Amino acid sequence: MAKTVALVVAAGRGRRFGGDIPKQYHDLAGRPVLRHSLARLAADPSIAATRVVIHPDDQELYQAAAKGLALLEPVFGGESRQDSVRLGLESLAALAPDQVLIHDGARPFVDCGTIARVIAALADHDGALPAIAVADTLKRGSDGLVQTTIDRTGLWRAQTPQGFRFGPILAAHHQAVGQELTDDAAVAEHAGLGVALVAGSEDNFKITSTEDLSRAQGRFSGQGYTVCGNGYDVHRFAPGTKVWLCGVPIAHDQGLEGHSDADVALHALTDAVLGTIGAGDIGAHFPPSDPQWRGASSDRFLAHAAGLVDGLGARIVHVDVTLICERPKIGPHRPAMRARIGEILGLPMDRVSVKATTTEGLGFTGRGEGIAAQATASVWLPG
């Protein structure tokens, strides 16, 4: 399977948008616009890693927007978007990816289907971009008067993410230094690379004005309703020196057996979140038969589930986890556990509950053979 990474461009100043902060950090349904964009990419299992290109002045804004998401360290951009993309690509070279998706940080509604279509097209093409056929009649004008009507046949509105085979697009950006090209597909075209068109989505619009932001806010408005999901998981003890619980490593005289890091609490919580939107269970998204998930951090599983919720315009409003075990003692680690879950999900501490209980010596947990966890997630869905 080809290794795909994502590069999110978020170094712009948003001068057309106005305001005290760049548009990608404006609030959208309680979270920065950029957070929505990143959550959707982080939730897609076909993307191995995501890096964001930011402006040096936006470091605090970025850290708040990206908190809890499994992302590579950001890099600083350049004078133009084209410069920023080139610098981002150069920073990814050490990862030796096969292909890269380049996405605008101010497009918060990209969906998994669009991502999949772009990636699929890279099997036969150097590049691919999602696009919408132009439906409106186009006019060329000057001094407030119509000069001519433009034939819209074959005209498309380009979107992102734009995908490319990594080596060719990096070389193309090096060749294009000093040119002023409007997007990465134009850079590829300048270098003679073939770029395929795939179906885009009207929902995948870019926020460039206050009107766009209002349109985006409208997707989160409405009556809405709250749903709940439940999850349960068990892992047996195995030789080891620590256990991972709620994303926190705890020193112990045994470990937990599992294909990933065996974090029984995050596995149960992931299933609970998936259950709120009818998205199956953790095994359907991260099958234990797939070697790429061996030893994987369960943070990624939970972030994936949260991204699917975000992708529906929904919000996780509260989570509750109960650990069932005789040992280790959970109490001393509870604050760190709540904080870590809050980071992953972007929730304040008062919306994250972690509890522990025993079975009074009964059953497999009472005999000290393993740890069980059950979890409940509450999610607001737009009406």
pLDDT tens readout for residues 171-189 = 999 999 999 999 999 999 9
Q: Based on the fold, state whether residues 200 and 76 are members of the same structural domain.
A: yes
Q: Please check if 357 is assigned to a binding site.
A: yes
Mean pLDDT of the chain: 93
Q: 240: domain range?
A: 225-381
* CB atoms closer than 10 angstroms to residue 178: 6
Smallest CA-to-CA distance from 31 within 77, 76, 66, 55 is with: 66
Q: Tell me the pLDDT band of 383, cut-offs 50, 70 and 90.
A: low
Same domain, 300 and 340: yes
Is 358 annotated to bind a ligand? Reply is yes
Determine the Cα–Cα distance for residues 351 and 226; give it in Å rounded to an integer.
15
Quick one: 207 and 243 in the same domain? no
Q: Is 364 annotated as a binding-site member?
A: yes
Closest CA to 264 of 248, 240, 286: 248
**Three-state SS at 116:** helix
Neighbours of 370 (CB within 10 A): 20
Residue 210: which CATH number? 3.90.550.10
Task: Work out how many domains the chain is built from and give that number.
Answer: 2
Considering the domain architecture, whether residues 246 and 194 belong to the same structural domain is answered as no
Question: Mean per-residue pLDDT for 358-364?
Answer: 94
Compute the C-alpha angle 226/70/279, nearest 5°.
35
Does one domain contain both 185 and 305?
no
Tell me, yes or no, whether 42 and 135 share the same domain.
yes
User: 334 a known binding residue?
Assistant: no
Question: Are residues 236 and 376 both part of a single domain?
Answer: yes
| Annotated binding residue 367 | yes
pLDDT beyond 70 at 359: yes
Is 259 annotated to bind ligand?
Answer: yes
**Is 281 marked as a binding-site residue?**
yes
CA distance linking residue 181 with residue 183, whole number of Å: 6
Query: The CATH number of the domain where 349 resides is what?
Result: 3.30.1330.50
Q: Which amino acid appears at position 305 of this protein?
A: A
Do residues 234 and 102 share a domain?
A: no
Cis check: omega of the bond before 161, within 30 degrees of 0? yes
Residues 211, 247, single domain; the answer is no
Note the pLDDT of residue 198. 97
236 shares a domain with 307: yes
Last residue of a domain, one of 177, 202, 218: 218
Residue 234 is assigned to a ligand binding site: yes
Q: What pLDDT, on a 0 to 100 scale, did the predictor assign at position 30?
A: 82
Q: Does 285 carry a binding-site annotation?
A: no
Strand pairing class (4-10; 99-104): parallel
Do 318 and 173 lie in one domain? The reply is no
Phi first, then psi, for residue 97 (nearest 5°) are -75, 155
Both structure tokens of 304? 């994936």
pTM summary value: 0.71
Amino acid at 149: T
Boundary of a domain, candidates 218, 246, 274: 218
User: Does 376 show up as a binding residue in the annotation?
Assistant: no
How sure is the predictor about 287, in pLDDT bands with cuts at 50, 70 and 90? confident
Residue 325 has pLDDT above 70, yes or no: yes
Please check whether residues 164 and 246 belong to one and the same domain: no
* Predicted local confidence at residue 8, as pLDDT: 99
Q: What is the pLDDT of residues 224-255, one digit of tens each?
A: 789 999 999 999 999 999 999 999 999 999 99
Q: Is there a binding annotation on residue 283?
A: yes
End-of-domain residue from the set 200, 218, 236: 218
Q: Is 26 annotated as a binding residue?
A: no
Local structure of residue 191 (DSSP, 8 states): T
Render pLDDT for 137-161 as a digit per residue (tens, 0 to 9).
999 999 999 999 999 999 999 999 9
Pairing of strands 75-76, 49-54: parallel
